[in-house]
Amino acid sequence: MDIKKEFPQLPKTIKVDVSKGESGVLVAQLTEFEIFTEADTLNELWLQVNDLIYTYFDIPQKYQEHITYIPPR
């Protein structure tokens, strides 16, 4: 599948900024799109970030396994 052809609205890279909120929750911001999500653990946060990307860019569930945000080390 050609991701760029199927989803031209999806950028090749997405910058995610992570911080800890005042209540201790982890917050991930996609600042260039002015959207964010939050979670209690890093594992949950990466699931939430991917869900945010799928929702924001309207990626149908059948294509989601081909599009995954993987945080840098």
pLDDT category, 58, cuts 50, 70, 90? Answer: very high
7 CB-side CA count, 13 A: 17
Tokens 């599948």 locate to 1
DSSP lists the bridge partners of residue 62 as none
Percentage of the chain lying above the pLDDT 90 cut: 75
**CATH 3.30.160.250 corresponds to the domain 3-66:** yes
DSSP line for 27-58 = EEEEGGGTEEEEESSHHHHHHHHHHHHHHHTT
pLDDT over 90 (residue 6): no
* Most distant CA pair in the chain, distance: 42
CA angle, residues 5, 8, 9, in degrees to nearest 5: 160
pLDDT digits (tens, 9 = 90+) for 13-48: 899 999 999 899 999 999 999 999 999 999 999 999
